[in-house]
Amino acid sequence: MDDGRLPPLVDDRPHGYAFEDLAVGMAATFSKTVTDADIVMFAGVSGDTNPVHIDEEYARSTLFKGRIAHGMLGAAYISTVLGTRLPGPGAIYLSQTLKFRAPVRVGDTVTARVTVVELFPAKNRASVRTAVTVGETVVIEGEALVFVPSRQA
């Protein structure tokens, strides 16, 4: 089930998947085109005003030859998948590793993908592979651990 499609919810709960609904291989995605406003607002919210993100003239003098989005803005789209799609509302993000592989620029469409790789029933936790891509290029990759509520709770 690694094609980005999820099975239908198994009951009428108004929130995400319960731990019992998860299976290795389940995957979900979220895509968004990054805008100048996204980068400026992220700088304001995070306080990261590094000029490589917000000053085109400065950024042209760097190895990127132009402005790039904050790496953590791209990583935030992983959180979007976890909190809204798989497992969805009720999930608690416990940990994340990230490797930043390539820059994201204004106008790039990023796709965050989460794939379940292991389940830990004793603690209702799921290990997931995470990736953010622009086209075929992996820009961020890593792994996360998520607590997933049980239907019994």
- pTM across the whole model: 0.87
Length of the chain counted residue by residue: 153
* Average pLDDT value for the chain: 91
CATH (domain of 108): 3.10.129.10
> What pLDDT, on a 0 to 100 scale, did the predictor assign at position 129?
98
Share of the chain above pLDDT 90, in %: 88
Residue 108 lies in a domain: yes
User: Could you tell me if residue 50 is inside a domain?
Assistant: no
**For residue 127, is pLDDT > 90?**
yes
On whether residue 126 sits in a domain, the answer given is yes
Q: Over the stretch 42-68, which tens digit does the pLDDT of each residue have?
A: 999 999 999 999 999 999 999 999 999
Quote the tokens at residue 99: 């490797």
Q: Are 19 and 124 in contact (CB under 8 A)?
A: yes
pLDDT band at 94 (very low <50, low <70, confident <90, very high): very high
Give me 64's structure tokens: 């990127």
Q: Which domain holds residue 87?
A: 19-34+72-147
- The two tokens of residue 14 are 């108004």
> Into how many domains does the chain fold?
1
